[in-house]
């Protein structure tokens, strides 16, 4: 569980005597202070102060929440109640109503709201202030019995659930039974008498479950409600959510409570309630996007109980209010310079804004709105860039359904959150979590989702609901998480108990595969192939703005010509790491590599390398051509060579099998049944066939000899710590012909390109270097081969020669290494391993999860660069390297090169480039821009 961090300020308050201000009216609260007032409270203050029609109310601060939660006896801090009463008086004056009054009662909502929006994760209570007396007053005043009892039953249920801990299901059962009795399908069909009866039964439910009558004193109700909302900060949902989204106490600490005069969207057909976005949050298009319900309360829209209407329909239903709503939309966006997600209520023809917050949008929408708002001068280009978190772009790499698929959809709902996903259906969040953990891909299928389903969202690939609109809980949460969602697919009947869903004639059982397309709203049976997304024009433009401000260049790690071409489409400005060993693994190449390894003499080894030379040359040529005139960093062979041979156990088993085959073949060879074949799968995965005759025996013998040789070699090459062993430059110096072949391949490819005037930029990089002398030796090979290639091709190959910095000693020797190298590239995978003495192969599966859970290490150092340890080594290396050679080009090619925080650190170190996997390139380009803009901002402070 996330621990509660009591700020020093809150701690002081516990000891403080003098009255402290915990409560702020909407007229006085500082709209910029979200930490103190929560996002919702701060915005209610700001909207009030810029003249928007917000119902009167006040905010109880997050300080009050933390002080309350830290108190031993769970009492509100001294002064809170007095300040609440004082503020309630002001609300009474502003509304002309009185709290607890039997004539014209004031009702309030008690809403949660922390510094960071956590939609639906904490509690809210509506219609507070109802009891037998005020009920009568409300009846006298509104003359609307149905409305009054509707408000009452909602209040009892919400208060019962949130403040008194009565399970929701108890109320739902009573409610459904009464609907059934009344013969109605939707709650709007219930009469005043039905609702009155439901209210009576609800009061009884509360008494049965809690053993006490429902509280009738309105200030007692208010105090209980305030505490309940504060408590919801440490509730499971909220804690899970904060953990999942890494919300630290520095980002949001405690929830504020907003007490707001109730306005009613369910006062008849001139009343309505709705939720809207100033732009389409799914696509980012500049259209008014929202939904509303006439004669309903706010929760009805988001809970998906009734399917709402698109906001545009209000234009015909209530034209002048639609006009006011359009004005509100535009005022909100120009004031906040951000797409707003706001709630409104129309009470008897008067429009109120109940809350606003920055719209949560998927990456597509963020990119489009950023670009369009910059073009419309609402934002500067830099503001547009800073609006998007770099990691968010990863969402754009989500797959889409292959447009060539021919599947007929089973059902259609609303396209509520784009992207496509396949998985097995599950019908409740707990099962989703369970099956999701069992490494199944799951799609959570629900009638509607509720905040308590959040763990099911985390576990699922996508969400499908049969009720609710594009602003339903399911849609909002899925969009925030970047997961596909189809909402309101009304043809689907979900039966949670039977773990199945019916769609017309079809029945889907738990475990059946479905595919959902959140871009079209279609639902399909089975798994449908997906394709990679393409870049939108807006994203391309945004990334060019990023490149204009970034100081770091962004390269890609790519090992073959296809990967290099792909990296180019992501905007890679070069290849920062080509791991040449990966070229050796192709099935037609591996046997040659094995031949080279098994060679007993230098001649034999050279013969094998001669076969590899043209293959490597062609690979290098293709990559250089694909990237020309961008740099391509080619790293000489790095891993220990035993990695190209099968394991010892595997070889031993093969030998047993081959010997057995030989006996069989010898036994039957007299039958001369040469048509029959014996099969043996060799350790390279290929199936070898041996005929049943003398020839077969001979071939098996040869195979046995080869395997025995391999086994012997495996024994010879065995090392206790191969990662610290005979690899990298050490290998290159013991078997010079291997590196020489690779250097020749690079330089010949370069010369061939240069001869036809193609500007290629190879950079030869040596791995695992720990001393300058190693570099001197390899450089000598390079010079020798360069002279030969020059003579042979009559051109001077142009290239750079540099080193990886991935060994601690290399950092310490950076000055000496810089004398020999034109560039450094930090291999932070190995450097992290070496600095921590954590095996990069095992740590992440063994103890790092525990270290993260217990906060022993804040981040996984293989994911996020450890600036305190590894970073300090890098700093020293940069300093000493550049002291020796001021124009030394320095980059990073470990996994950290694509991680935004690490990229910021590389920028601060003054590196020239980062290199990461192709799909991370857009993320890195934006992160590099953020790093520059962050620096500029700090400089101007």
Which residues contribute to the annotated binding site for Mg(2+)? 806, 830
Interface characters, 506-545, with ligand PEP (x: CB under 6 A) = ----------------------------------------
Q: Please confirm whether the linkage preceding 71 is cis (ω < 30° from 0).
A: no
In whole angstroms, how close is the CB of 833 to ligand PEP at the nearest point?
8
Q: Which residues in the 811-850 window bind ligand PEP by CB under 6 A?
A: 827-830
Q: Report the C-alpha gap between 293 and 879 in whole angstroms.
A: 64
307 exposure class (CB count in 10 Å sphere: 0-12, 13-18, 19+): middle
Other C-beta atoms closer than 10 Å to the C-beta of 769 total 29
Does the active-site annotation cover 679? no
Token pair for residue 533? Answer: 């997304």
Interface characters, 828-847, with Mg ion (x: CB under 5 A) = --x-----------------
Which C-beta is closer to Mg ion: that of 291 or that of 830? Answer: 830
- Binding flag, residue 918, ligand PEP (CB under 6 A): no
Q: Are residues 549 and 382 in contact, defined by beta-carbon separation less than 8 angstroms?
A: yes
Q: Which residues in the 777-816 window bind ligand PEP by CB under 6 A?
A: 806
Token pair for residue 397? Answer: 């790499």
Other C-beta atoms closer than 10 Å to the C-beta of 204 total 14
Which C-beta is closer to Mg ion: that of 528 or that of 893? Answer: 893
Question: How many residues contact Mg ion, by CB under 5 A?
Answer: 3
Q: What is the DSSP string of 817-831?
A: HHHH-SEEEE-HHHH
- Using CB distances below 5 to 8 A depending on partner kind, what does residue 893 bind out of Mg ion, ligand PEP, none? ligand PEP
Q: Which residues contact 120 (CB under 8 A, 6 or more apart)?
A: 237, 302, 450, 451, 454, 473, 476, 477
191-199, 256-264, 817-825, 827-835 -> range binding Mg ion (CB under 5 A): 827-835
Q: Report the C-alpha gap between 74 and 163 in whole angstroms.
A: 14
Q: Report the C-alpha gap between 216 and 229 in whole angstroms.
A: 19
Which residues is 342 bridged to in the sheet? 276, 356
In whole angstroms, how close is the CB of 479 to ligand PEP at the nearest point?
35
643-651, 700-708, 824-832, 867-875 -> range binding Mg ion (CB under 5 A): 824-832
Which C-beta is closer to Mg ion: that of 283 or that of 803? Answer: 803
DSSP code for 475:
H
Q: Are residues 796 and 862 in contact, defined by beta-carbon separation less than 8 angstroms?
A: no
Angle between helix 537-549 and 363-375 (nearest 10): 70
Residue among 65, 353, 425, 893 flagged as catalytic = 893
Token pair for residue 538? Answer: 């807006």
Q: Which residues in the 585-644 window bind ligand PEP by CB under 6 A?
A: 638
Residue among 20, 398, 455, 473 flagged as catalytic = 473
Q: Report the C-alpha gap between 859 and 852 in whole angstroms.
A: 7
In whole angstroms, how close is the CB of 806 to Mg ion at the nearest point?
5
Q: Report the C-alpha gap between 370 and 839 in whole angstroms.
A: 42
Which C-beta is closer to ligand PEP: that of 893 or that of 921? Answer: 893
In whole angstroms, how close is the CB of 765 to ligand PEP at the nearest point?
10
Dihedral class, residue 225 (left if φ above 0, else alpha if ψ from -120 to 50, else beta): alpha
Token pair for residue 484? Answer: 């596909």
Q: Are residues 654 and 683 in contact, defined by beta-carbon separation less than 8 angstroms?
A: yes
821 exposure class (CB count in 10 Å sphere: 0-12, 13-18, 19+): buried
* Residue 317: C-alpha distances to residues 263, 305, 313, 476 (Å): 20, 21, 6, 26
Binding region: 579, 635, 806, 827-830
Q: Which helix (H) or strand (E) holds 704?
A: helix 694-717
Using the rule CB under 6 A, which residue among 714, 893, 916, 931 binds ligand PEP?
893
In whole angstroms, how close is the CB of 925 to Mg ion at the nearest point?
24
Which C-beta is closer to ligand PEP: that of 86 or that of 841? Answer: 841
Q: Which residues in the 793-812 window bind Mg ion by CB under 5 A?
A: 806
The full length of the chain comes to 941
- Using CB distances below 5 to 8 A depending on partner kind, what does residue 150 bind out of Mg ion, ligand PEP, none? none
Using the rule CB under 6 A, which residue among 518, 894, 900, 922 binds ligand PEP?
894
Q: Are residues 780 and 739 in contact, defined by beta-carbon separation less than 8 angstroms?
A: no
Angle 615-617-621 from CA coordinates, rounded to 5°:
120
Q: Report the C-alpha gap between 254 and 852 in whole angstroms.
A: 23
Q: Which residues contact 61 (CB under 8 A, 6 or more apart)?
A: 21, 22, 23, 24, 36, 37, 256
Binding region for substrate: 579, 635, 806, 827-830
Which C-beta is closer to ligand PEP: that of 2 or that of 829? Answer: 829
Token pair for residue 864? Answer: 């996020």
Which C-beta is closer to ligand PEP: that of 280 or that of 638? Answer: 638
* Residue 324: C-alpha distances to residues 205, 329, 331, 423 (Å): 42, 9, 11, 44
- Using CB distances below 5 to 8 A depending on partner kind, what does residue 538 bind out of ligand PEP, Mg ion, none? none
Q: Which residues in the 173-192 window bind Mg ion by CB under 5 A?
A: none
Angle 493-496-500 from CA coordinates, rounded to 5°:
60
Which C-beta is closer to Mg ion: that of 56 or that of 827? Answer: 827
Q: Report the C-alpha gap between 866 and 832 in whole angstroms.
A: 8
Does the active-site annotation cover 893? yes
Q: Report the C-alpha gap between 930 and 907 in whole angstroms.
A: 10
Q: Report the C-alpha gap between 450 and 473 in whole angstroms.
A: 7
Q: What is the DSSP string of 531-551?
A: E-----HHHHHHHHHHHHH-S
Dihedral class, residue 633 (left if φ above 0, else alpha if ψ from -120 to 50, else beta): beta
Which C-beta is closer to ligand PEP: that of 455 or that of 896? Answer: 896
Helices (H) and strands (E) in the chain, counts: 34, 35
Token pair for residue 125? Answer: 């209570």
Which C-beta is closer to Mg ion: that of 63 or that of 830? Answer: 830
Which C-beta is closer to ligand PEP: that of 638 or that of 654? Answer: 638
Using the rule CB under 5 A, which residue among 38, 56, 468, 827 binds Mg ion?
827
Active site residue ranges: 473, 893
Give the footprint of Mg ion on this chain (CB under 5 A).
806, 827, 830
Give the footprint of ligand PEP on this chain (CB under 6 A).
577, 579, 638, 806, 827-830, 893-894
């Amino acid at each position: 569980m996330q621990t509660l961090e009591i700020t020093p300020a809150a701690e002081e308050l516990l000891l403080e005597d003098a009255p402290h201000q915990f409560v702020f009216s909407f007229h006085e609260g500082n709209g910029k202070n979200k930490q103190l007032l929560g996002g919702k409270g701060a915005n209610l203050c700001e909207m009030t102060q810029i003249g928007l029609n917000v119902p009167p109310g006040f905010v109880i601060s997050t300080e009050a929440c933390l002080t309350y939660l830290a108190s031993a006896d769970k009492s509100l801090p001294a002064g809170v109640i007095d300040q609440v009463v004082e503020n309630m008086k002001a609300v009474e004056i502003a509304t002309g109503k009185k709290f607890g009054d039997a004539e014209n009662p004031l009702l309030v909502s008690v809403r949660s709201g922390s510094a960071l929006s956590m939609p639906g994760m904490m509690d809210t209570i509506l219609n507070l202030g109802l009891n037998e007396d005020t009920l009568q007053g409300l009846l006298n005043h509104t003359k609307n019995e149905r409305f009054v009892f509707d408000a009452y039953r909602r209040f009892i249920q919400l208060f019962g659930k949130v403040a008194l801990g009565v399970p929701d299901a108890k109320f739902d059962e009573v409610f459904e039974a009464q609907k059934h009795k009344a013969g109605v399908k939707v709650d709007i069909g219930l009469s005043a008498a039905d609702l009155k009866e439901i209210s009576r039964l609800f009061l009884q439910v509360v008494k049965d479950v809690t053993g006490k009558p429902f509280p009738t004193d309105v200030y007692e109700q208010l105090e209980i409600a305030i505490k309940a909302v504060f408590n919801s900060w440490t509730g499971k949902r909220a804690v899970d959510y904060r953990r999942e989204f890494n919300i630290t106490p520095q980002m949001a600490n405690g929830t504020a409570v907003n007490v707001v005069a109730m306005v009613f969207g369910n006062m008849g057909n001139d009343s309505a309630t709705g939720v809207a976005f100033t732009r389409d949050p799914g696509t980012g298009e500049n259209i008014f996007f929202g939904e509303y319900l006439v004669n309903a309360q706010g929760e009805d829209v988001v809970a998906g109980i009734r399917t709402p209407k698109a906001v545009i329909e209000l234009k015909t239903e209530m034209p002048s209010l639609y006009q006011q709503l359009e004005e509100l939309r535009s005022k909100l966006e120009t004031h906040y310079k951000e797409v707003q997600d706001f709630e409104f209520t129309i009470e008897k023809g008067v429009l109120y804004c109940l809350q606003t917050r920055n719209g949560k949008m998927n990456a597509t929408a963020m990119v489009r709105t950023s670009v369009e708002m910059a073009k419309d001068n609402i934002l500067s280009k830099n503001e547009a860039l800073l609006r998007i978190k770099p990691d968010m772009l990863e969402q754009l790499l989500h797959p889409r359904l292959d447009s060539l698929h021919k599947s007929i959809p089973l059902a259609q709902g609303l396209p509520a959150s784009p992207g496509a996903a396949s998985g097995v259906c599950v019908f409740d969040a707990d099962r989703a979590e369970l099956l999701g953990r069992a490494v199944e891909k799951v799609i959570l299928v629900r009638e509607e989702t509720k905040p308590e389903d959040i763990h099911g969202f985390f576990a699922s690939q996508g969400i499908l609901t049969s009720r609710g609109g594009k602003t339903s809980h399911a849609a909002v949460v899925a969009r925030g998480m970047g997961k596909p969602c189809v909402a309101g697919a009304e043809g689907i009947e979900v039966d949670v108990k039977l773990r199945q869903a019916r769609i017309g004639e079809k029945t889907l059982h738990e475990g059946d595969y479905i595919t959902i397309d959140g871009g079209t709203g279609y639902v399909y049976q089975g798994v449908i192939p997906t394709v990679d997304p393409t870049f939108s024009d807006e994203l391309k433009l945004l990334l060019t703005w990023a490149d204009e401000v970034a100081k770091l260049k962004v390269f890609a790690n790519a090992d073959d010509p296809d990967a290099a071409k792909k990296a180019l489409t992501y905007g890679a400005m070069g290849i920062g790491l080509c791991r040449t060993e990966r070229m050796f693994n192709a099935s037609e190449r591996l046997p040659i590599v094995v031949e080279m390894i098994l060679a007993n003499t230098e001649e034999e080894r050279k013969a094998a390398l001669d076969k590899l030379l043209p293959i490597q040359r062609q690979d290098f040529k293709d990559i250089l051509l694909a990237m020309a005139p961008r740099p391509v960093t080619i790293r000489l062979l790095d891993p220990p060579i035993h990695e190209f041979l099968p394991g010892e156990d595997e070889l031993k088993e093969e030998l047993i099998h081959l010997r057995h085959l030989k006996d069989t073949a010898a036994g039957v060879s007299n039958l001369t049944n040469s048509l029959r074949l014996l099969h043996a799968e060799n350790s390279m995965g290929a199936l070898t066939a041996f005929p049943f005759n003398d020839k077969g025996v001979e071939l098996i013998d040869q195979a046995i000899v080869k395997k025995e040789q391999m086994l012997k070699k495996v024994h010879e090459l065995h090392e206790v710590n191969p990662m610290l062993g005979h690899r990298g430059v050490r290998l290159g110096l013991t078997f010079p012909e291997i590196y020489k072949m690779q250097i020749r391949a690079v330089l010949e490819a370069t010369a061939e390109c240069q001869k036809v005037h193609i500007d290629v930029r190879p950079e030869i990089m040596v791995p695992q270097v720990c001393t300058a002398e190693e570099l001197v030796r390899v450089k000598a090979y390079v010079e020798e081969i360069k002279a030969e290639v020059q003579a042979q091709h009559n051109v001077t190959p142009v290239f750079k020669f540099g080193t990886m910095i991935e060994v601690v000693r290399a950092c310490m020797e950076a000055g000496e290494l810089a004398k020999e190298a034109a560039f450094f590239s930090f291999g932070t995978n190995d450097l992290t391993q070496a600095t921590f003495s954590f095996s990069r192969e095992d740590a992440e599966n063994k103890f790092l999860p525990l270290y993260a859970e217990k906060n022993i290490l804040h981040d996984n150092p293989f994911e996020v660069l450890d600036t305190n340890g590894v970073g300090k080594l890098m700093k020293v290396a940069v300093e000493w390297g550049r002291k020796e050679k001021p124009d030394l080009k320095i980059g990073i090619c470990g996994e950290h090169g694509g991680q935004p925080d690490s990229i910021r650190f590389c920028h601060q170190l003054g590196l020239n480039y980062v290199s990461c996997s192709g799909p991370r390139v857009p993320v890195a380009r934006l992160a590099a821009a953020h790093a520059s803009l962050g620096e500029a901002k700090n400089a101007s402070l």
